[in-house]
Amino acid sequence: MFQKALKAYRTGHIQSARHLLIEFLQGEPQNAQAWYWLGEVTADVDKKRLAFEHALQLKPNYAEARAALAQLQQQHIRTTLDLWQIELTDLYAEAKAAVKDGRFHDALLHLKHLVQTNPEHENGWLAISRLSKNPELQIIALEKAVALNPN
């Protein structure tokens, strides 16, 4: 049945391969190779990760499973960083929109959240130095901006 699952995979019948592997694993749950291939044919990222981890528990030196798990982790990191960057861009855009609308307090809140999330956001610090009514915060923000870009 395992070979049949691999053949289904190679001919593009991914769902069939997945079902065959699940059935095969019910009879042979200690087969690391089958767990690896189940990870390969599974669409759900969490289930993929679990299958690769299971393969590695059974066979700790399984290079393909280790590489597949590492690739999943890299994809997760990239996605998280992309979402984080979008969030930072949104915070800065929201702050700019709030300034245009005269909502300076809201803008300052967005900017504070922005620089807490990304302390190296030079424009965020500059904007805080301009918008804050607190002289101490203005000085701190300006010093941070200058430290990030002394030119």
The predicted pLDDT at position 89 comes to 72
Q: Show contacts of 112-120: CB within 8 Å, 24+ apart.
A: 114/88, 115/141, 115/144, 117/84, 117/87, 117/88, 117/91, 118/88, 119/144, 120/148
Q: Domain 2-61 in CATH: superfamily?
A: Tetratricopeptide repeat domain (1.25.40.10)
The reply to whether 82-148 shares the fold of 2-61 is yes
Tokens of 115: 């620089």
pLDDT in tens, the chain (151 residues): 989 998 998 999 999 999 999 999 999 999 999 999 999 999 898 999 999 999 999 999 999 999 998 988 887 777 665 555 656 677 778 888 888 888 888 888 888 888 888 888 888 898 888 888 888 988 999 899 899 888 7
The predicted pLDDT at position 20 comes to 93
The full set of domain ranges for the chain reads 2-61, 82-148
Looking at the structure, give the CATH architecture of the domain made up of residues 82-148. Alpha Horseshoe (1.25)
The predicted pLDDT at position 76 comes to 75
Q: How far apart are CA 151 and CA 87, in angstroms?
A: 28
